[in-house]
Amino acid sequence: MSAFNERVIAEFRASGGTVGDPFEGTDLLLLTTRGARSGLPRTTPLVRLAHGDTEVVFALNGGDPASPAWYHNLVAHPGDLTVEVGTETYRARPVEVADPVEYEELWRRQIAVEPKFAQFRERAEGAGRRVPLVALTRAGS
């Protein structure tokens, strides 16, 4: 894990879910997955979009041609996820957003909040990758 992510995770946990610059005012969550190859827990800070009783995360990877590691881990071990939002921690189950209307609406909402997501999406799609959107729902819900 990068030193930057370690700092963000520590600040998130110490402050009850808020983080300063460069994420000041950004809705974040911490997603802990199990490594696809290592089997070790991996925690990643992610921008979140609240959507009903779920949290939606965007597997952008900055618009790179490949999906981020956390997404590969989630696909490999979908039953082993933990989400931290604010001071709350819960087990979650992932559901990839498949409905094209919902997919586009979630993008519209996220870009309205974080305009740079449009550039990341454009870059990924220009490289031939459809960015997965994953709804994280409380396990047992």
Indicate if the pLDDT at residue 46 is higher than 70. yes
For the chain, domains (ranges, CATH) are: 3-138 (2.30.110.10)
For the stretch 71-129, pLDDT in tens is 999 999 999 999 999 999 999 999 999 999 999 999 999 999 999 999 999 999 999 99
Mean pLDDT of the region 22-40:
92
pTM above 0.85, yes or no: yes
pLDDT at 21: 82
pLDDT at 65: 92
Q: Which two tokens stand for residue 125?
A: 């799609």
Q: Is 63 helix (H, G, I), strand (E, B) or coil?
A: helix
Q: How far apart are CA 86 and CA 29, in angstroms?
A: 8
